[in-house]
A = this chain, B = another copy of it.
Amino acid sequence: MRNGGCLKRTHGCGELSLSLAGLEVVLMGWVHKRRDHGGIIFVDLRDRTGIVQVVFSPDIDEVAFVRAEPVRAEYVLAIRGVVRKRPEGTENPNMATGEIEVAAREIVILNVARALPFYPTEAANVDEALRLRYRYIDLRRPASWRVFSLRHQAALVIRKFLTTHDFLEVETPLLTRSTPEGARDYLVPSRVNPGSFYALPQSPQLFKQLLMIAGFERYFQFARCFRDEDLRADRQPEFTQLDIEMSFVEERDIRNLTEEMLVDLFREVLGVELKRPFPCLTYAEARKRYGTDKPDLRFNMELVDVSSLAGKSSCRVFADAVERGGVVKGIRVPEAGSFSRKMLDELSKLAVSWGARGLAWFALEENGVRSPLAKLFRPPELETLIGMMGGRTGDLLLFIADRQEVAEEVLGRLRLQLADRLGLVDNRQFSFVWITEFPLLEYNEDEKRYEAVHHPFTSPRDEDLHLLESHPERVRAKAYDLVLNGTEIGGGSIRNHRRDLQEQLFQVIGLPKEEAEEKFGFLLDALDYGAPPHGGIAFGFDRLLMLMLHLETIRDVIAFPKTQSATCLMTEAPAPVAPKQLQELHIKCLPALTDQSVKSCRQLDS
């Protein structure tokens, strides 16, 4: 009886329909709902395929009816019965199988269920912590079933596409070596080599480059990656990366292939037809026009530079900013001219909290311009300013007068905030954009050195090579990101395939020759032994799925996600371990330190 006796499942609950009326079927599944009505027991039985109503009554089978009595929600049942049309007037048009029911002749209770902490039907309204603790109940929601089904399909479609394009999936190690650049590593103490540690990979970067040097030419992998960073809504300590690398290619080859792959993916999985080629902005242009390197192009509201006018204007705040070498930039917020003073003050506060010295606003009303600054401008100036912004009656114009980076960054954030608030974003749209020509290096004020914007294996653009020693910050990289709806979903680059250039780059980022040799010697060697030109790209697969499915958090597309403090509420990992285990690994735990003492340790160390 334990496994359903001699009953053998014949159908899924959701597979039954009127055309099967009269057929005897065996179903197995969960009690979704149970109710008694007029001496009859109705059970909505649920499995992967759907839900169907099962009827127990003494008229159909006395024994089955009696045995069905103790059944409660989420019991696991095997049912033998006959499909029949529901009595006239009791059909349920909201249910896929609502025309029929199953008259039960036999029931086997495969397992009982205690009262659940919550029921799948209620999960949407339950606190997320409780849902994560009982994730196996949460996952019983049909909606979550759809998510993982699509995730599975998406991976299949991508694998098929890349296989057709001569790519080979190769698995690279997870127990690997800690490297000094990048995020914080998760470490794994070695038992066999006391004092030594593996690191879990932040990405298979070096291995995929080595596969190119090994002559694999086209590689991909759905690779698990790990970053021990403080988490945000769309980050997890472990995540899945679709990792791609190719030899003998240029930037545009990789971008083209990727676009084709995504077109295929969206068509096959969502039935959505993406337009190619995807638009493409340089990093400089994206910052200038949208104040960010991840612009959301589902709406306009571009940043406009009005410095030429502002610098000569009678408004001192504007003129001074330009005089000091800064800029005055603005956005036109359509139909926000009616914002109240309170709302505008809040916007100003927001801008200040993001680093601006202030926010200038001009509400273009029927009767004229409402603004604390309006009287500081000569009327023709004001008119020209409004003209430059394309302002129309009913609009709100916002300006920041500041250093260029600050003005762009803050306006970029205001742009997003306002588009969201004003409902300018079409949530069904998928808007891709490539960002190219990233700077290769940026100066790290804390560490007093240049560091790689992408990673130190990225190739500089040929035409900027001459600037590498003299103006490192002006060198652009052969690097590109793909942005979807304002979120970076992928990024990649052409790599350095020559040892001399790679060594020079390590030097520019202040990595001493010995340390470079110690940590990356195997890569430098490999570049010496016949390394082809190569490059690639990597996508955050979880994040891509989250956006494809219009979900709010990356946790919704991961079967067993962790919280923002990197714990699993279900298994309670991480957890203390037996002292013996630590002894075998030649480590011991330190007494927990206060933040202050951690800081001083760090200083001591650096």
Q: Give A residues with C-beta under 8 Å from B.
A: 2-4, 9, 28, 30, 46-48, 74-76, 78, 110-111, 113-114, 116, 134-140, 145, 148-149, 151-152, 155-156, 159, 163, 166, 168-178, 180, 184-200, 206-207, 210-211, 213-218, 224, 226, 228, 237-238, 240, 247-250, 462, 494, 497-498, 522, 525-533, 558-560, 562, 565-568, 570-590, 592-593, 598, 601-602, 605-606
Q: Are A186 and B175 in contact (CB under 8 A)?
A: yes
User: Taking each of A48, A137, A170, A175, which has the highest tally of chain B beta carbons within 10 Å of its own beta carbon?
Assistant: A175
Name the distance in Å between A265's Cβ and chain B's nearest Cβ: 16
Q: Are A574 and B190 in contact (CB under 8 A)?
A: yes
* Chain B residues whose C-beta falls within 8 Å of the C-beta of A213 in the assembled complex: 136
**Separation of A198 and B324 alpha carbons in the complex (Å):** 53
Q: Are A139 and B590 in contact (CB under 8 A)?
A: no
* Chain B residues whose C-beta falls within 8 Å of the C-beta of A217 in the assembled complex: 47-48
Q: In the complex where A76-B531, A111-B532 touch, is A215 in contact with B140 (Cβ < 8 A)?
A: yes
Q: Are B583 and A605 in contact (CB under 8 A)?
A: yes
* Chain B residues whose C-beta falls within 8 Å of the C-beta of A173 in the assembled complex: 238, 560, 562, 568, 573
Q: Are B163 and A215 in contact (CB under 8 A)?
A: no
**Separation of A353 and B574 alpha carbons in the complex (Å):** 45
Q: Which residue of B lies closest to A606 (CB)?
A: B580
Q: Are A178 and B577 in contact (CB under 8 A)?
A: yes
Q: A211: which of B139, B528, B529 is its contact (CB, 8 Å)?
A: B139
Q: A215: which of B30, B152, B192, B576 is its contact (CB, 8 Å)?
A: B30
**Separation of A218 and B145 alpha carbons in the complex (Å):** 12
Q: Are A214 and B175 in contact (CB under 8 A)?
A: no
- Can you list 7 residue pairs at the A/B interface with Cβ under 8 Å? A110-B532, A136-B210, A139-B216, A174-B226, A192-B565, A193-B567, A587-B589
Q: Are A152 and B139 in contact (CB under 8 A)?
A: no
Q: Are A590 and B586 in contact (CB under 8 A)?
A: yes
Q: In the complex where A47-B217, A226-B175, A532-B28 touch, is A571 in contact with B114 (Cβ < 8 A)?
A: no
**Separation of A478 and B584 alpha carbons in the complex (Å):** 34
Q: Are B578 and A605 in contact (CB under 8 A)?
A: yes
Q: Which residue of B lies closest to A580 (CB)?
A: B605
Name the distance in Å between A447's Cβ and chain B's nearest Cβ: 13
Q: Are A215 and B568 in contact (CB under 8 A)?
A: no
Q: Are A601 and B580 in contact (CB under 8 A)?
A: yes
**Separation of A526 and B560 alpha carbons in the complex (Å):** 14
Name the distance in Å between A227's Cβ and chain B's nearest Cβ: 11
Q: Are B191 and A184 in contact (CB under 8 A)?
A: yes
Q: Are B186 and A111 in contact (CB under 8 A)?
A: no
* Chain B residues whose C-beta falls within 8 Å of the C-beta of A178 in the assembled complex: 575, 577, 581
Q: Which residue of B lies closest to A162 (CB)?
A: B152
Q: Are B155 and A156 in contact (CB under 8 A)?
A: no
Q: In the complex where A3-B533, A530-B76 touch, is A587 in contact with B588 (Cβ < 8 A)?
A: yes
Q: A174: which of B48, B136, B152, B224 is its contact (CB, 8 Å)?
A: B224
Name the distance in Å between A202's Cβ and chain B's nearest Cβ: 14
* Chain B residues whose C-beta falls within 8 Å of the C-beta of A156 in the assembled complex: 159, 163
* Chain B residues whose C-beta falls within 8 Å of the C-beta of A176 in the assembled complex: 568, 571, 573
* Chain B residues whose C-beta falls within 8 Å of the C-beta of A114 in the assembled complex: 528-529
**Separation of A526 and B184 alpha carbons in the complex (Å):** 35
Name the distance in Å between A8's Cβ and chain B's nearest Cβ: 9
Q: In the complex where A137-B529, A214-B140 touch, is A228 in contact with B573 (Cβ < 8 A)?
A: no
* Chain B residues whose C-beta falls within 8 Å of the C-beta of A585 in the assembled complex: 187
**Separation of A340 and B86 alpha carbons in the complex (Å):** 85
Q: Are B74 and A530 in contact (CB under 8 A)?
A: yes
* Chain B residues whose C-beta falls within 8 Å of the C-beta of A602 in the assembled complex: 580, 583
* Chain B residues whose C-beta falls within 8 Å of the C-beta of A134 in the assembled complex: 525-526, 529
**Separation of A570 and B213 alpha carbons in the complex (Å):** 13
* Chain B residues whose C-beta falls within 8 Å of the C-beta of A78 in the assembled complex: 248
Name the distance in Å between A464's Cβ and chain B's nearest Cβ: 13
Q: A177: which of B116, B198, B568, B588 is its contact (CB, 8 Å)?
A: B568
* Chain B residues whose C-beta falls within 8 Å of the C-beta of A171 in the assembled complex: 224, 240, 558-559
Q: In the complex where A111-B531, A191-B184, A530-B75 touch, is A572 in contact with B175 (Cβ < 8 A)?
A: no
Name the distance in Å between A560's Cβ and chain B's nearest Cβ: 5
* Chain B residues whose C-beta falls within 8 Å of the C-beta of A139 in the assembled complex: 211, 214-216
* Chain B residues whose C-beta falls within 8 Å of the C-beta of A175 in the assembled complex: 186, 226, 237-238, 562, 566, 568, 573-574
15 more CB-based (< 8 A) A-B contacts, given A151-B170, A193-B574: A3-B248, A48-B215, A74-B529, A137-B214, A139-B211, A156-B159, A175-B237, A178-B575, A196-B575, A197-B575, A197-B581, A198-B574, A579-B605, A583-B598, A586-B590
